[in-house]
Amino acid sequence: MTENIKLDREYTLPPETFREGYLAYQKKFLLRRSYIFMALFLILGADMAFAAVKEPTNKLAYVLMFICLAFAFKMWYDPRKARKEMASTFSEMGGQVYRLRIDGENAEISTVSSSPVVEAFDEEGNAQEEDLPEPTVIPLGSLTVIEAESCFLLCQGREMFYIVPKAEMTGEELEILRNIGK
């Protein structure tokens, strides 16, 4: 991937930008399903409330109403909890430096540095340094780009996503990212 490079940029990702990028990912792939299930549980809960008011001796209607309301709350809360945990985990990782390279056919995303040094412990408790992960190469045809206020979200399906901040980019670099997949 050394010839015909359109974009070669090293960047750090602030925690606020990560939160915004992860929210954009959730809006694109996860929140719609949660909101649909939340609405279904609220409708079922309202139906059970109507049944409980109509027949006050029907204890099962009360139980089912509270179960439906609990599941509706869970559908509302789980994405927020996941976002909070992901943001917390990311901020604990420290300020890593990443590299994004784009040529005519592929995008390559890699970790340039990691601070502190990535360490692993063997069974005896001895610290061992680990190598940085291999760069991820993604064909541009399978890459979806979502632009948020302060970042770009690069997605390959629902499984992989990368967040690239806009803050340090030039206008030309921003246009290259906007035109991926067009």
Assigned domain for 1 exists: no
Assess contact for 107 and 140: CB atoms under 8 A.
Answer: yes
Assigned domain for 98 exists: yes
Compute the distance between CA of residue 54 and CA of residue 73 in angstroms, rounded to an integer.
25
**Going by C-beta distance under 8 Å and a sequence separation of 6 or more, which residues neighbour residue 155?**
25, 28, 29, 143, 144, 145, 146, 161, 162
Compute the distance between CA of residue 39 and CA of residue 121 in angstroms, rounded to an integer.
46
Helices and strands of the chain, counted as H and E runs? 4, 9
Compute the distance between CA of residue 126 and CA of residue 19 in angstroms, rounded to an integer.
35
| Band of residue 130 on the pLDDT scale cut at 50, 70, 90 | low
- Structural domain boundaries enclosing 148: 7-178
pLDDT of residue 116: 47
Total domains in the fold of the chain: 1
**β-pairing, 119-121 with 106-113?**
unpaired
Assigned domain for 128 exists: yes
Task: Return the SS3 of 6.
Answer: coil
Compute the distance between CA of residue 40 and CA of residue 43 in angstroms, rounded to an integer.
5
Assigned domain for 87 exists: yes
pTM for this model (two decimals) = 0.76
pLDDT of residue 89: 87
DSSP structure class, residue 116 = S
Assigned domain for 137 exists: yes
Percentage of residues of the chain with pLDDT beyond 90: 35
Q: What is the pLDDT of residues 75-92, one digit of tens each?
A: 999 999 999 999 888 888
Assigned domain for 2 exists: no
Does residue 159 have a pLDDT over 60?
yes
